[in-house]
Each structure stands twice: as C-alpha cells, then as structure tokens.
Structure 1
Amino acid sequence: MKRNTLEEVLKQTGIMVADGAMATELERMGCDLNDSLWSAKVLAEQPELIGKVHRSYFEAGADCGITASYQATIDGFCKRGYTEAEAEELIRRSVDIMVKEREDWWQAEGKDAGRAYPLVCASVGPYGAYLADGSEYRGNYGVSKEDLRKFHKRRMELLWDAGADLFAVETIPCLEEAIVAAELTQEMNAACWISFSCKNETEISDGTKIADCAKALEAFECVKAIGINCTAPHFVASLIKEIKNNSTKPIIVYPNSGEEYDPVTKTWHGNKDGKCYCDFAAEWIAAGAKIVGGCCRTTPDNIREVAELARKK
C-alpha cells in the first residue's frame, strides 16, 4: 500500500500541526477512563467516540492524528479478560477508525481547503503505560531489552499492517526502550517518530540527557523526527535546543497543558503554566520545532490556535 510520509506533509506545511489529547476529550463526552486500559477501553465499548475526537482535531487544523492505541496492548487486553484474537482486532481497530475519519474529513472539507492529507500515526506507548502504575514517568521497569522487544513487536506489526503511515513512539522514559522501538521499526521497513517524557529542561524521565538520546537516535534512518511529549510546557524550549544541537532530524513537541498529573490518584491538579498554549507554541517554533501539537489536557481549541500560528509561518 502507498503510505503518506512525514517528509511529504512537512514539505507542504512547513510547520506540521499534530493533534491534541484523546483521553480528556473522551472524558468530556462522559467516558469513565479510571481503568487500567485508559482510552483503549473505549476502543471496545464506544469506538464511535474516538472517531469524533479524531474528526474534531482534523477540523481544528491538525495535519496528523495519533491513534487511540497508546494503552492498547495484547497483554493489557488479555489481563482484562479479552482473548488474544479480540485484543489483536481492537489494536487494528484503532488504525481503522482514524483511516476512516481522515478520509471522511478529507472528502468533506480537507481536499477543497487545500490542506495537507493528514498522517495516520499509530501510537506506541511505553511498557510503563501497560503497567498502569505511573512508571512511564520513571522508566524503572526492571525488565530486559528482550522483554521490551517481545512486548512491543506484535502490537507494532498489527498497527503497521492495519495501514498506519508511521509509528508515534511516545512518552518514552528511557533510552533503551527508544532504541528497541527504533530497531523494531527498522526491521519492519517502517517509519516512526520518537518522543520522550522529560522531567526538567535537559533530562528525560529516567535522568538520561535528552542530548544523549538525540545522538543515539541520529543513526536510525527510520526515525523521522525526535522530540518531547507529555511534559510541562515550560521545559520544552530548552529541550528543543538540546535536541537541535545533537541531531539533524525534525523536532516534534506536544507537551501537556501545564497541569500536573498524579499517577497514584490518576487525577490532574494545579494551574496551567502561566502563558496561553499558543504563546508557548510560538516559542517552540522559534526554538526550532517543526511539528507542534498537544498532549494531556490540550483541546481542539488549543490545536486550532497552533494551526493558525503555523499557517502564518
């Protein structure tokens, strides 16, 4: 099959706009996501709502969408009582939903509006997301590299075979897991971006320097962009500079709204970082980001603001 590529979309847009949060939008629609499957639960129970969220981001100006597969793993579904065949079907469904919404939106308005044909980016969340204990923000899994390969391999094959354009390997807290994902992507002749969760202006969640991560991933041709997601907005401009000084790849950033997440209570608290999201986005673009979107607690309105900013560039 012919797949859309990140390079083609970036060439057309200059600045590519990614989408925003999935889970918090589903919660706005009344979904209860206090569950080990998180938004993946909705793939089984109310998949049409996931489609509505994807469509809202395309309408807001997103040039790519990220599938609802972050927490959709064979192990996770089986632990909740699904068969392996059912788990595999639900993982494929995450791509099917977005492919349909992209085409429906494209025919209805995107094509005539002169927009780029959006990328379908298959979310590959970290091993810690399956554990559902907050370890995706620490990276201290205590498992081998081979365990990580086994965990990710089949899910990535399912997502790719379902028709994804590239993998969104996201919220990665440790370099070893990023390298595992890059190696698997390369073996599949696929493409990905890799974005890390970060705890300050220079380090990813497990304390590794983001500069070292950028250097390590530079050699992988299949890694089409490197960046940051699920991170406080005020850390991002500094992190962009660290990546830019150590990599020639496009930089992707899609941070959180600025509120803080408590992985124990699974709740958000505090205020959003002082500036409006669009002001932060302008800083990130000025620092060198080529792909900008939003992660937890960001909305279609935030993405609309980012799109308006990007179109002015």
Structure 2
Amino acid sequence: MTYTALRKGEIRLLDGATGTELEKRGVPMSAGAWSGPASLEHSEVLEQVHRDYIAAGADIITANTYATSRALLELDGLGDKFDEINRASVRAALRARERGHRPDVMVAGSLSHRGPIAAASAQPDTNAAIGLDEMALALREQALLLRDEGCDLLLLEMMYDPHRMLLVFEAAAQTGLPVWAGFSARHDENGQVLGFGPDDDVPFEQILSVLDDWPVDVAGIMHTPANAVSDALEILRRTFDGPLMAYPDSGYFKSPHWQFEDVIEPPDLRRYAEAWIEEGAQVLGGCCGLSPEHIAALAPLKRTPISAHG
C-alpha cells in the first residue's frame, strides 16, 4: 500500500496531466468547465489516459474532476449533469485500475477552487465569478460524491488563493478521506517565492499557513515551473513534517487551451526529480503539459532510496 511505502521512506509516482492529456489526444475543451465535460462524451479516451499512466508506472491516478464542481459546470449549462459527469470521471479511473491489473493503484479525486477563466487568457473572468457561498456549497457536494463513488483520497489541487482554498480544505475534511494538498507557487522578479495567483503577491509562507488549521496526510508543490519547485519545497518542509510531493507543469494556459510550448523533456524532468528526492519529496509526478512519457522517465526513481530528509 502507498501509505505503508511512504512511512518506510519509499518513492511513489503520481500520474501526469489529465486535462491537457485529453486535449493532446484531440478531446475538445470547454469554455467554462475546461476538461470536465469530456468525462461523458469521451470516457474511453479518458480511461485510456489513466491506463497509460498506470502502464508508465503511476501508483496514484487522478480522476478528471479538477473542473467538475456544479458551479463550474453551470457556466456551460451543464449543472444538471453534475452527478453524471462526476460519476463518469471516477468510474473511468476505477475501470482503468481494474483493467490495468494494478489493484494497488490509488484513485485520487481532484478538488480545486478553480473559477471561470477569461477567454484566450489565464486570468480570472470577473464577469462570471463564483461567489464564496456558492463555491462552498459546490465543493461540499463534490467532495462527498467523490468519496461515495470510491475515491481513495482527495487531492486538493492548485491551492493558492488564501480565501477560496479554505473552502476546499473544509469540504475535504468532511469526507473522512485522506487529504493530499498540492500548493502552486511562482517566483517574482527578485526570486521570492509567492503564491501562484497572478494578481496577488502573497508570500508562499502565508499560503501554507492553512496547514496550521487543516492537517493533511501529504503536501506538496504542483502546477509550478520545475525550476521553482525546490525553493517552494524548502519553505514547505519548514511548515509540514509529513510526506512531500512534487509535480510541476510545463507550458502555459490560454483558456480554454493549454499551450504545449517549450515543454520539459522527460530526461530533464527526471534530473529535477532526483534533486527533489534529495530534498525530501517522496511522491513524484506531473501536472499540465506532462504526459505518460514523463511518468515513465520517473519510474526508475521508485528504486532510489530516499535521503535522510524523509
């Protein structure tokens, strides 16, 4: 089991991107809920994505639920299909685990505080913003459904908004499932590590203060450029003494499409990951822009003993 392995200091692999991998394989992306609706009309492609990650060596696969809250789906007129889309997302991952003959693989349900993104940009669409009360209700509903559909854990992704991320932690805590928290960071022009939010220069230490009130089982750095992960991990290690994870992105977003430009090569990702292991990371993977080839490049690292930082 993954938790036993982590307690022993072993390395485990998370999958790579789900949404951008669907787009790479020709699945259309939605203006409001991005990759979320794809779980219904393209479930076979989604299942194959999961199976390819399992074949590459992933120990944890992530259901396509990052952008499937009722609040986001309603932006595309799909609020009435919330149950159907989320169940299809989880069941595709469960089928992939069964058909991949890896019963030890864990299925993570993704939760986020994602709101609407303005077209052809990565900036929030303030005209269609989701209020805090609406988001809180939507997150609680989604978290409970992910639990009831059979997810083994909840993966809180792109945590960077000091206010909205509290709603995600609260919703996850109500399920009783293990909680893994992925925080997103960036460097400013002076090299300081900040929260990922493009409009708010919030010190990364302040973002991580949520862990004072909401304990999690695993915490890490995700959807962050590979060259910023080490600095962010160093700050996280001062706050959190549990297992650490690292899964960067590569490329950039112009809603509703990921731009697959200057994507890190798999051998280069592995070199970064070797350093992250030395810095204490035990769960390695990839986020937007990264594919099964990247996870396959990391697979040999599962045989690498973790350093004393673990």
Q: TM bucket by the smaller chain? A: 0.7 to 0.9
User: Secondary structure of 1:291's partner?
Assistant: strand
1:220 partner amino acid: W
| 1:248 aligns to 2:233 (yes or no) | no
- Output the CA distance in 2 between the equivalents of 1:215 and 1:226: 12
Of the candidates 259, 271, 274, which is equivalent to residue 262 of structure 2?
A: 271
1:183-213, Cα deviation, whole Å (9 max, x unpaired): 2222232221111221225211233332233
| 1:301 aligns to 2:293 (yes or no) | yes
- Output the CA distance in 2 between the equivalents of 1:50 and 1:56: 10
- Output the CA distance in 2 between the equivalents of 1:26 and 1:266: 11
| 1:133 aligns to 2:127 (yes or no) | no
Q: What aligned pairs does 1:278-293 form with structure 2 within 5 A after superposition?
A: 278-293=270-285
2:175 partner amino acid: M
| 1:239 aligns to 2:226 (yes or no) | no
- The Cα shift of 1:252 comes to 1.5
- Output the CA distance in 2 between the equivalents of 1:147 and 1:83: 13
CA contact (8 A) 1:138 1:205 kept: no
Q: Decide which structure has greater helix share.
A: 1
- Output the CA distance in 1 between the equivalents of 2:21 and 2:131: 35
- Output the CA distance in 2 between the equivalents of 1:176 and 1:137: 19
1:237 partner amino acid: S
| 1:91 aligns to 2:91 (yes or no) | no
2:45 alignment partner in structure 1: 49
Q: TM-score, normalised by structure 1?
A: 0.84
- Output the CA distance in 2 between the equivalents of 1:83 and 1:34: 14
CA contact (8 A) 2:31 2:256 kept: no
Identity of aligned residues (%): 23
Q: 1:311 to 1:94 in 2, by over 3 A?
A: same
- Output the CA distance in 1 between the equivalents of 2:125 and 2:184: 13
- Output the CA distance in 2 between the equivalents of 1:56 and 1:249: 29
User: Unaligned stretches of 5+ in structure 1?
Assistant: 112-116
Q: 1:236 to 1:80 in 2, by over 3 A?
A: same
Q: TM-score, normalised by structure 2?
A: 0.85
CA contact (8 A) 2:29 2:256 kept: no
User: Unaligned stretches of 5+ in structure 2?
Assistant: 306-310
CA contact (8 A) 1:196 1:227 kept: yes
- Output the CA distance in 1 between the equivalents of 2:293 and 2:210: 35
1:30 alignment partner in structure 2: 26
Q: 1:83 to 1:151 in 2, by over 3 A?
A: closer
1:212 alignment partner in structure 2: 206
- The Cα shift of 1:292 comes to 0.9
1:5-48, Cα deviation, whole Å (9 max, x unpaired): x5235247711110001123223322222533322121121101
Q: What aligned pairs does 1:25-174 form with structure 2 within 5 A after superposition?
A: 25-33=21-29, 35-82=31-78, 84=80, 86-106=81-101, 110=102, 117-128=104-115, 131-133=116-118, 145-174=132-161
CA contact (8 A) 1:57 1:65 kept: yes
CA contact (8 A) 2:117 2:125 kept: no
- Output the CA distance in 2 between the equivalents of 1:83 and 1:210: 34
Q: 1:12 to 1:164 in 2, by over 3 A?
A: farther
- The Cα shift of 1:309 comes to 1.7
> Which of 301-310 and 236-245 deviates more?
301-310
CA contact (8 A) 2:117 2:255 kept: no
1:80-131, Cα deviation, whole Å (9 max, x unpaired): 33352x221211221111112112212xxx46xxxxx111100112232xx1
- Output the CA distance in 1 between the equivalents of 2:181 and 2:205: 14
Q: Number of residue pairs matched?
A: 295
